[in-house]
Chain A
Amino acid sequence: MSTQTKTGTPNDPVDHRYTRDITVGKNGVPVAKAKTSGGGYRTYEIHQRMRPGETTAKMTPTRLISDEYLTNPYAPLEVLRENYPCYRDWIANAYWITQYNDVTSIFVDDANFETRSKAWFYGIEGFGRDLGGEIPVLTAQATRIDENASAIAERLVDEMVTAGQADLALDFAARFPMELLGCALDLPEADMPKFIEQYWHMQRGYNWEPRSEQAGKTAIEELSAYFQALVDVRRANPGDDMVSAIAELELDGGPATGADVVATLLEADHETLHGGFANMWFQLLTNPDQLQVIKDDRRFIKFAWFETLRHSTPVINAPRFARHEVERFGLMLPEGGTVNCSAAAANRDPRIYTDPDTFDVKRKDMCQREPRGMYRADGLPAGIAFGLGAPTKHPAVPEDRPRSIYAITRDVVVTASNILLDKMPNIRLQDGATPEMRSLRIGEMHTCWHLPISF
């Protein structure tokens, strides 16, 4: 395709000009070259006229970015789910999908709906390679976490016991995934505080808030330099950790760099473990009868975890983008259209779950394992939680792979909760504490950030 650039005005360097197959009109203005056939535009209407009965008057789009949505998204989402299953949000420029069957139908439909990476949201696509799917990397991660999770959990619980009182959300739920990550990467203890802060900045920065984005970009640069040095060291002296595994990979585009390590870390995240653990214990401590169930029979810890991912999933929403124009849910979704798939709404869909707002670890109408690629593995629906991976037509755990990250997450939660119950048999909410779940900002994790406990 021949491109032609128009000379820019003096303030505007020409190399940034919009280039396409264009000709220059008589006034020096580029005009699109007429095409003889086809063409990149449509010649028919897609937005149908609405009739008075079709208004979405029960919802105003500002409610979906309000403080109410940050603290209790379930009320506005119920309005959408029960009235407007495909709601056109003119402020967020998106369609909200809120019924369970609709949400899962989009997640499994990669042919029509695209997932965009965090690097895309950062505007740094191509910055590094996400190596999170490489078998040696997965093996290193699984092995190191399996070997060390109990010891780490014990150390963190002991710290809280020594202190005499604790904030379970900050001192444990937030710490635990970071310690596990540091262990999987085998980072020196002294580097951890700085690494954790940079990692957090990186994970918060792809969102819309410009200061966080700035901090995130800085963190990505610093982490890339840090890991470049580490990759070089580990390549010479490999260990059994993830960085060594990445350093030793044989890749088409040349050996792995620090940027590749960072890209791998960026596209994974800690949120399901952090937020899920905090939310699970928030639910258990505020529902003492449910806590009693797992105290009586520790087997139910696992089910409490699944029920948490359904009832109080930390990542409440995920965008997908229509790869092309597609007619779904009675509407024509335009190419590129953003579809907000609301896990929070879908997980409370009364069409799927009986009494969906109740936190019930003994729930019978839910699949008793992670979705891992199928939402109805046992003929029963599973809670939608994004950290548990995108569903796929492939088996979740191929033969040559270690256990999946879903299984690892579940196991460390069970392990940690067992240790917590062993060392704090009388664990309870601190007197007078009124914990709550909330998102810090629109688009971020919905979790309990402070959970003061006594024991």
Chain B
Amino acid sequence: MSSTNPNTESIARAIDPSLLAGEIAPGAQTDFPQMPVGQAVDMGHAPDGTPLLDPRIFNTMEFMRNPYPYYKIMRDHYPVFHDKLHNCYYVTRYEDITDCYFDDEGFNTIPKGSSSGVLGNTQLELSGVEHRRRRNLYGQHLVGQSLKNRVPAIERMAEDMISAWDGMSEEEGVETNGNVRRIQLGKAFANEFPIRVVCEVLGFPEEAQEDFYYWYNSMMSGLGGSATQKEGLEARQHLEDYVEGIVEERRVTPSYLYDADGKNLGKDIITKLCETKVDGDYLSTEEITSNIALVVGGGGETTRGAILNMWYLLLQHPDQFAAIVEDEEKWDLAFHETLRHSTPIGGQPRHNTFDLDLHGVHIPAGSLVNMVDFSANHDDRNFKDPETFDMFRDDLYSGKLLRSGYAKEGKCSHMAFGVGPHLCPGAWISHQEAVVGSKILLKHMKNPRIVTENMPKDIDGESLLPIGLISVRELWLEFDLS
């Protein structure tokens, strides 16, 4: 301004130059330009050439749409990134995340408080033996023979939903023109299917499914920190009111599952939970409700995203889709590669219980450490050419889900379900839903293709929007009826 004193000029230079021009310095929500997929915004470099990472990027649309180049910067240059704006650390390499997930004493799950405010207290926040005990209470019903017993019911439900398309209108997401039918796969199938399955598996009556779908949506969009948390908590209250009645009923009158032939398959999950004791006492209704809320919350968006992402990716890779049409056993490969390439859940927060030095970064006890599953799945230390969707890749383990992450023959499993003690207990059932559901969908859809004009476009205005951080929201498909 008025002065030409060199000392004043020094101060002026050290303050933002924009301020001197009388402009307002950039606020916290600076726009970062949207980059071509695979490229990161240039946020400056250290003298040694290391790219810098501005933590405001995590709040931007650019990051939502195109997160992988930023995670690559982290993996290559900041394997532990201290984000001082959001007061947390990111761990981004596959191997480090595996280590941390396995050490459930060293890294507890307390930061999950954002969900427990709504869902209630679940084994999500527990560690060690206490966690194992509770997890097994209901986890056992979602695997092995109990699950196999439920597969016919899952198939039947998918068939029911698809045959209902015949009578559905445009508003309901189905439009039929002669031999060509156009659907929005989310609305017509994938949004509700997982919730219905969860309801069925838990043993709730069919007429409750619609309510569950509503409660699920409200709870999941109303987690801690969101603008709709009040609605989320109200939905949680309604869920509890409903479940409480059922639980009280089942405590007195056990209810049983039957297969299609009327054979008794044993008691349903809620009945079993009612009869379960922890520490010498029966589970409280609140505990049962919380676990049900967790199963409902965990089993919806994830599977929905997996189904939509899988179809979206496959239909953009016709050669791979053709291979599935040839051999429906290949759905398993597609499922695993989808979850590696575009997993619906970004990662898990952890809270280190001891002072820790990781990659030369000191992390004080009690810090929020984000394990970025997204990044692990695109770690080129483990997966060759990770940005490419290739269900035939030879470095991804696609057999039975691995709790360990690493397989013996050197292949890694994807990180979408996590690894270690907190491995998603719904992994197996989610796999069944997505694969069984897709097999049946394919049976009813001849020559399916994406309706490009209805789909959101990328910044070039032409190509399809990449999946990025959030799963495909809507998937418009067209197919021939015969």
Contacts and interface: CB of A to CB of B under 8 A. Distances in A.
A194 B9 CA distance: 10
A450 B1 CA distance: 9
Contacts, number: 270
Contacts of B225: 61, 88-91
Nearest to B125: A45
A369 B2 CA distance: 35
Contact of B83 (A178, A193, A208, A334): A208
Interface stretch (B107-115, B245-253, B256-264): B107-115
A208 B84 contact: yes
Contacts of A123: 82, 361-362
B33 to A, nearest CB: 17
Contacts of A179: 7
Nearest to B53: A210
Contacts of B15: 200, 440, 449
Contact of A335 (B116, B359, B366, B407): B366
B482 interface: no
B237 A51 contact: yes
A55 interface: yes
Contact of A197 (B13, B29, B382): B13
A193 B6 contact: yes
A334 B6 CA distance: 49
Contacts of B323: none
Given A41-B104, A70-B27, A12 B95 contact: yes
Interface string A2-39: 00001011011000101110100111111110010001
B116 A334 contact: no
B233 interface: yes
Interface stretch (B86-94, B185-193, B266-274, B314-322): B86-94
Contacts of B237: 51-52
Nearest to B229: A55
A30 B1 contact: no
* Interface core residue of B27, B59, B360 (most chain A CB under 10 Å): B27
A163 B2 contact: yes
* Interface core residue of A41, A69, A121, A200 (most chain B CB under 10 Å): A41
B351 A336 contact: yes
A237 B225 CA distance: 60
A77 to B, nearest CB: 16
Interface in A403-455: 438, 440-443, 449-450, 452
B9 A42 contact: no
A449 B46 CA distance: 29
Contact of A174 (B11, B129, B286): B11
Contacts of A11: 381
Contact of B28 (A16, A70, A125): A70
B44 interface: yes
Contacts of A16: 79, 358-360
Given A41-B128, A47-B117, A175-B11, A9 B84 contact: no
Range, interface on chain A: 35 or more
B47 interface: yes
B106 A20 contact: yes
A148 interface: no
B28 A40 contact: no
Nearest to A167: B1
A170 B16 CA distance: 13
B220 interface: no
Contacts of B152: none
B121 A65 contact: no
Interface in B404-426: 404-408, 420
Contacts of B114: 90
Nearest to A10: B381
A32 B2 contact: no
Given A32-B102, A194-B10, A336-B351, A52 B44 contact: no
Range, interface on chain B: 35 or more
B105 interface: yes
A214 interface: yes
Contact of A51 (B52, B233, B405): B233
A209 interface: yes
B407 to A, nearest CB: 7
Contacts of A6: 99
Contacts of A31: 102-103, 420
Nearest to A90: B225
B287 to A, nearest CB: 10
A336 B366 contact: yes
A40 B28 CA distance: 37
Contacts of A48: 116-117, 121
Given A29-B98, A57-B229, A335-B365, A210 B28 contact: no
A62 B404 CA distance: 38
Contacts of A29: 98-99, 102, 404-406
A23 to B, nearest CB: 10
Given A43-B126, A43-B130, A197-B13, A163 B3 contact: yes
A47 B365 contact: no
Contacts of A39: 105, 128
A192 interface: yes
Contacts of A174: 8, 11
A249 B125 CA distance: 51
Contacts of B343: none
B102 A18 contact: no
Contacts of B12: 170
A159 interface: yes
Given A47-B121, A175-B11, A41 B127 contact: yes
* Interface core residue of B11, B55, B358 (most chain A CB under 10 Å): B11
Interface in B36-65: 43-44, 46-47, 52-55, 59
A49 B381 contact: no
B108 A42 contact: yes
B231 to A, nearest CB: 9
Nearest to A27: B404
A159 B87 contact: no
A441 B366 CA distance: 26
Nearest to A65: B28
B233 A171 contact: no
A214 B113 contact: no
B52 A210 contact: yes
Interface string A156-180: 0001100111110011001100110
A261 interface: no
25 contacts: A8-B95, A9-B381, A9-B382, A11-B381, A16-B79, A16-B358, A31-B103, A41-B128, A49-B290, A52-B230, A52-B233, A60-B227, A62-B59, A88-B224, A90-B114, A123-B82, A165-B2, A170-B1, A171-B1, A175-B11, A207-B84, A210-B53, A214-B44, A440-B25, A443-B85
For the complex of A and B, list the 3 residue pairs with the smallest distance between their C-beta atoms, beginning with the closest: A336-B366, A90-B225, A200-B14
Given A22-B103, A32-B106, A214-B46, 7 more contacts: A46-B110, A48-B121, A51-B237, A175-B11, A196-B11, A209-B54, A450-B1
